[in-house]
């Protein structure tokens, strides 16, 4: 099996491990180990594409494994964070719903011979979502009385709690990611409609009278 596919498969295999670690919230290092494992999984997301292109092993199976690993890891962790009252349900619904909507849209477009290129907003959304999820897991460790970072979270300097402030910024980042999720989804839908319209429009000059009327 190509190295790229093994990396994607390892990300799928890591998903239940991360979920179990998040569930073991009374075990002090659980959240931090989950955060580290989640970050390593996101690094494999970068490496699998790199190795697939470098070794010329891009395949339909590899693409399927990569997409499945991405959706499974992010969606599962978000649902777990909602279950533990760490993340608001409506934010998870927006992020997960957008993933399924765009995946379905791209599949439909491909079946009609339309390729929707990945835009900059979509790529940024992927990176920023990974950062947001990692930040939330670290934040959860800080507010958890059993967490390793809890003592740092409560640490004060002249009535100022720098660690608490740093971790609370995670929520600003989450709201930014939520907005970027909606915006990138809009970009995908807009590009699809443009490409579909261009594909269904008759070629220029196909109708002499119509062309003259426009001119």
Residue 213 has pLDDT above 70, yes or no: no
DSSP state of 155: -
Mean of all residue pLDDT scores within the chain:
84
User: In angstroms, how far apart are the furthest CA atoms of the chain?
Assistant: 80
Confidence of residue 49 (pLDDT cuts 50, 70, 90): confident
CATH of the domain at 132: 1.20.120.1760
Q: Which domain holds residue 132?
A: 3-200
213 occurs within a structural domain: no
For Cα atoms 167, 169, 175, give the angle at the middle one, nearest 5 degrees.
Answer: 125
Q: Per-residue pLDDT averaged across 27-47, rounded?
A: 92
Distance CA 122, CA 102 (A): 10
pLDDT at 5 over 90: no
Digit-coded pLDDT (tens) for 111-159: 878 777 777 887 888 899 999 999 899 988 888 888 888 777 777 766 7
Residue 211's pLDDT is 43
Which of 118, 128, 29, 13 is closest to 76 using CA atoms?
13
pLDDT for res 76? 95
Q: How many domains are there within the chain? A: 1
> Is 97 inside any structural domain?
yes
Q: Would you state the pLDDT for residue 91?
A: 94
Q: Which among 76, 75, 50 has a CA at the least distance from the CA of 62?
A: 50
């Amino acid at each position: 099996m190509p190295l790229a596919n093994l990396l994607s498969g390892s990300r799928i295999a890591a998903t239940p491990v991360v979920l179990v670690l998040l569930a073991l919230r009374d075990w002090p290092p659980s959240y931090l180990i989950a955060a580290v494992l989640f970050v390593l999984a996101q690094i494999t997301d970068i490496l699998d594409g790199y190795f697939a292109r470098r070794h010329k092993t891009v395949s339909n199976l590899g693409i399927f494994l990569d997409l499945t690993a991405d959706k499974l890891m992010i969606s599962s962790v978000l649902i777990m964070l909602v279950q533990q009252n760490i993340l608001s349900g409506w934010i998870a619904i927006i992020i997960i719903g957008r993933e399924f909507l765009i995946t379905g849209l791209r599949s439909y477009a491909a079946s009609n011979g339309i390729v929707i290129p990945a835009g900059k907003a979509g790529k940024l959304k992927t990176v920023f979502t990974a950062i947001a999820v990692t930040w939330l897991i670290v934040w959860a460790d800080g507010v958890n009385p059993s967490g390793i970072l809890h003592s740092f979270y409560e640490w004060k300097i002249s009535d100022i709690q720098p660690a608490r402030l740093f971790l609370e910024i995670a929520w600003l980042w989450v709201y930014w990611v939520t907005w970027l999720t909606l915006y990138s989804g809009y970009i995908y839908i807009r590009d699809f409609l443009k490409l579909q319209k261009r594909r269904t429009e008759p070629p220029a000059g196909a109708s002499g009278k119509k062309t003259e009327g426009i001119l």
